[in-house]
Amino acid sequence: MTAARVEEAIAAARVVAAMHGLRTRPEVLQDGINVVLHLSPAPVVARVATLTRLLRRDVLTPFGREVSLAGALASAGAPVVPPSDLLPPGPHRHGDTVLSFWTYVTVLPERPGPAEVADAFAELQACLAEQPTTGSPLDTPLRDLESFLARAGQWGVRAGDLDTFAHRLELLRPRLEGAPRTLHGDAHPGNLLATPDGWRWTDLEDTCSGPLAWDLACLRTTGRLDGRAVLDALPGAPSDGELAPWVELRRLHAAAWSVVHASGHPASAGPARERLASVLAA
């Protein structure tokens, strides 16, 4: 049985696309924090905020940043999936639902190894370095964590765990220093797609300004391959000791979002609890 949030996402995407002259038969590509739809038969993908709204009440801001940055990067020749050019990419609001439109790309089954990830990351970062910064440094992850602390009780997180979480975050803040630049924000290999035109980065919803170490921590903590091997293929990459505060922030951020994900996907509740417990016990 299809979850109500997926049905709502499909309905919103179909209506907004039709408002711009596109008649579609949406097909679900992914049901995660967002719902991702192929608006068949058109070469358009809709990203629809669903569980995202539980932590980010103002979804228009991150969706707007993503569309703006991806458009600028694509124009500069960066290896990213571009926003749609068949209809306004948005973000659009339909009732309480926020969504954006993207170019559909054929995704090949290949998975990148450390060398491929390092090369694609370096190419992306060279393009990101030319983009102007927006917002305050690390506003995306830090605001997410503040929102998590305010709301996680409703998802069954114990008060004592939230106190520990808050204390860990307070200790981390003064250690998160460095020159700000524009970041991908969630630069792990799961967001690097194999396409007929080469490797393409996607999902820039978490983009923010901040030190490069934040994007490096996203690479280092991936469970999809050896993150240290990726960093070792990058010139001047920091040691694990130097990256430690950023890795801890990344693990806190990932644990928070795993709890949000589990609120809509009960089968993942156990792993989410284990991840949170592991982070707090570290």
φ, ψ for residue 198 (rounded to 5)?
Answer: 110, -175
Confidence of residue 251 (pLDDT cuts 50, 70, 90): very high
* Mean of pLDDT over the chain: 96
What does the CA dihedral 170, 171, 174, 179 come to, rounded to 10 degrees? -90
Reduce the DSSP state of residue 275 to 3 states and report it: helix
Q: What is the 3-state secondary structure (H, E, C) of 208-274?
A: EEECCHHHHHHHHCCCCCCHHHHHHCCCCCCCHHHHHHHHHHHHHHHHHHHHHHHHHCHHHHHHHHH
Burial of 195 (0-12, 13-18, 19+ CB in 10 A): middle
Average pLDDT for 210-227: 97
Give the tokens for residue 19: 């408002």
Q: Are 81 and 36 in contact (CB under 8 A)?
A: no
pTM (two decimals): 0.95
Average pLDDT for 172-183: 96
For residue range 58-90, what is the model confidence (pLDDT) as tens digits?
A: 999 999 999 999 999 999 999 999 999 999 999
- Give me the pLDDT at residue 1, please: 45
- Give me the pLDDT at residue 39, please: 98
d(CA 273, CA 42): 40
Give the tokens for residue 61: 């801001």
Q: How many CB atoms neighbour CB 146 within 10 A?
A: 13
Q: Are 240 and 127 in contact (CB under 8 A)?
A: no
What are the angstrom distances between the C-alpha of 224 and each of 136, 147, 253?
30, 28, 18
d(CA 6, CA 30): 10
Q: Please report the domains of the chain, with CATH numbers, ordered by start residue.
A: 4-103 (3.30.200.20), 114-281 (3.90.1200.10)
Report the half-sphere exposure of 183 (CA within 13 A, side-chain side): 29
- Give me the pLDDT at residue 2, please: 65
Overall residue count recorded for the chain in this entry: 282
